[in-house]
Amino acid sequence: MSVLLRLDDVSVRFRVGRRSSVSAVDGVSLDVVEGETLGLIGESGSGKSTLARAMLGLVPASTGSISWDGESVATMSRQRRRELSAQVQMVFQDPHSALDPRRRVHQSVREPLDVLGRGDRRGRDDLVRKALADVGLPPHLHDRYPHQLSGGQKQRVNIARALVTRPRLLVCDESVAALDVALQAEIINLLADLKDEYRLTVVFISHDLGVVGHVADRVAVMYLGTLVETATAGRLLAAPRHPYTEALLSARLDVRGTRGTERIILRGDVPSPLAPPAGCRFHPRCGHAVAACATTEPELVVVGGGASACLRVADLYDRSREDQPVSGIGGVR
Ligand code: SF4
């Protein structure tokens, strides 16, 4: 499988006032492999949505590089960027605000084709009808306005709008978070069917490890702008190799009442990204922290078929002590 999107040491900073800046994403290296569903998980403020926006080119990377199919996005011609914008699409969290209230369903879905100037009017209308049929929206709803649809129907329209350009990468940013549990399951199943039919690569962003674990092949865990663990979904859920992932997992199991051992309670709130803690950013909340954690920033190291950024990963989770720092291209990202 080839790498579709590669992020190399990507940071995204925003200016705050005249003199300071905040790092929403800091030094993230991550590959998105063609055909996979990559889950991106973390609490609010972890930087996962900013990272997704950087993947889509909606916010520029302050440092580092992003490449698409082996080609640097930064040096692409305007024409190539235009082509890329059709190949990478996003489905947002709030299905209502993502749609223009003045446009009928078929107009909203056709808009990306109009902007790209694809084909003639009849050809575009055929593509719109196909996309709406693929998401299961019956023809009698195609003429309606967003306020005349349910939340689930609106999210189907948003998915059709994202798919109508036949993208290769679909980024779903908390796309089911605003829906009730039954609708979440419906939309997740729909996305799984469409992924096969449209041969999509998917980045699925969520704060809910249960949802991500259900849909993703591989999961990347973010904390305060940095990547702290990556692994296959199965391994991550069965045997997390970072205290933060472990805490997320324990909270989820505790909520469902299936946990046999004690829940891990995280101390305090996520610190402000304006003043991230030195050393391991997670150390003020980590129950395993030692003195070195407050001064030494952990690197991602290969462990257990994935990677973990924890100074104590060998003591806590892995006895092999063969872990190697992940550096440069070709590591476990
Ligand atoms: Fe906890 Fe230290 Fe590991 Fe950070 S490096 S996760 S503080 S044990």
In a domain, 266, yes or no: yes
Are both 103 and 12 inside the same structural domain? yes
Residue 321 has pLDDT above 50, yes or no: no
* Nearest ligand 1 atom, CA 294: 7
Single-letter amino acid code for the residue at 178: A
Q: Kindly give the distance from the C-alpha atom of residue 279 to the centroid of ligand 1, in angstroms, as a whole number.
A: 9
Verify that 191 and 84 share a domain, yes or no: yes
> For the residues 87-114, what does the mean pLDDT come to?
90
- Say whether both 211 and 240 belong to one domain: no
* d(CA 158, ligand 1 centre) in Å: 40
pLDDT top residue among 79 and 202: 202
The predicted model gives 204-230 an average pLDDT of 92
**Confidence class for position 170, pLDDT limits 50, 70, 90:** very high
Average pLDDT score, the chain? 87
Highest mean pLDDT (candidates 204-208, 295-299, 314-318) = 295-299
| pLDDT for the residue 1 | 73
329 pLDDT higher than 70: no
Q: What is the CA radius of gyration of the chain?
A: 21
Q: What is the pLDDT of residue 255?
A: 46
Give dist(CA 319, CA 39) in Å, integer.
27
Q: Which atom of ligand 1 is nearest to the CA of 296?
A: 5
Ligand 1 and 282: CB distance under 6 A: yes
Count: domains in the chain: 2
More confident residue, 19 or 197: 197
Q: Choose the weakest-confidence range: 134-143, 164-173, 178-187, 196-205.
A: 178-187
Long-range contacts of 175-179 (CB under 8 A, 24+ apart): 175/91, 175/92, 175/93, 175/204, 176/206, 176/211, 177/93, 177/206, 177/207, 177/208, 178/93, 178/94, 178/95, 178/151, 179/95, 179/151, 179/152, 179/155
Residue 234 CA to residue 231 CA, distance in Å, equals 8
**How far apart are the C-alpha atoms of 228 and 236, rounded to whole Å?**
12
Phi, psi dihedrals of residue 327, rounded to the nearest 5°: -140, 135
Same domain, 49 and 110: yes
Same domain, 238 and 208: no
Quick one: average pLDDT of 146-161?
Answer: 93
- Residue 267 pLDDT: 74
- CA dihedral defined by 326, 327, 331, 333, rounded to 10 degrees? 70
What per-residue confidence (pLDDT) applies to 118? Answer: 84
CATH code (residue 157): 3.40.50.300
Do 147 and 269 belong together in one domain? no
206 Cα: distance to centroid of ligand 1 (angstroms)? 23
Q: Are 172 and 203 in contact (CB under 8 A)?
A: yes
Is residue 266 a contact partner of residue 247, using CB atoms and an 8 Å limit? yes
User: Does the pLDDT of residue 77 top 90, yes or no?
Assistant: no
pLDDT at 256 over 70: no
Q: How far lies 95's CA from each of 51, 137, 150, 155, in Å?
A: 21, 15, 10, 5
> Is 8 inside a domain boundary?
yes
Q: Final residue of a domain: which of 158, 190, 216?
A: 216
Instruction: Return the pLDDT at 200.
Output: 96
Residues 267 and 178 reside in one and the same domain: no
Query: Quick check: is 32 in a domain?
Result: yes
Residue 256 belongs to some domain of the structure: yes
Give the residue, 175 or 305, on which the prediction is more confident.
Answer: 305
At 333 the pLDDT is: 53
- In 10 A of CB 250, how many CB atoms? 18
119 in the same domain as 257: no
Structure-block tokens of residue 247? 């805490």
pLDDT of residue 105: 96
User: 329 C-alpha vs ligand 1 centroid, how far in Å?
Assistant: 25
Ligand 1 probe mutation, 267, 283, 300, 308, most atoms within 8 A of CB? 283
pLDDT value at 327 more than 80 = no
Question: Do 190 and 65 reside in the same domain of the chain?
Answer: yes
Give me the mean pLDDT over the 158-172 stretch.
94
- Window from 68-72, 82-86, 222-226 with minimum mean pLDDT: 82-86
CB-based contact 215:204 (threshold 8 Å): yes
User: Does 228 map to a domain?
Assistant: no
Sign of CA dihedral 160, 161, 167, 172: negative
pLDDT at 332 over 60: no
**Domain boundary, last residue among 186, 216, 246:** 216
The answer to whether residues 141 and 196 belong to one domain is yes
**Residue 279: which domain range?**
234-333
Is residue 321 domain-resident? Answer: yes
Q: Which residues of 281-307 are buried (b: 16+ CB within 10 A; e: fewer)?
A: bbbbbbeebeeebeeeebbbbbbbebb
- Give per-residue pLDDT as tens, 19-61: 788 889 999 999 999 999 999 998 888 999 899 889 888 898 9
Residue 225 lies inside a defined structural domain of this protein: no
Choose one of 153, 186, 216: the last residue of a domain. Answer: 216
In a domain, 226, yes or no: no
Q: Are residues 57 and 205 in the same domain?
A: yes
Both 188 and 240 in one domain: the answer is no
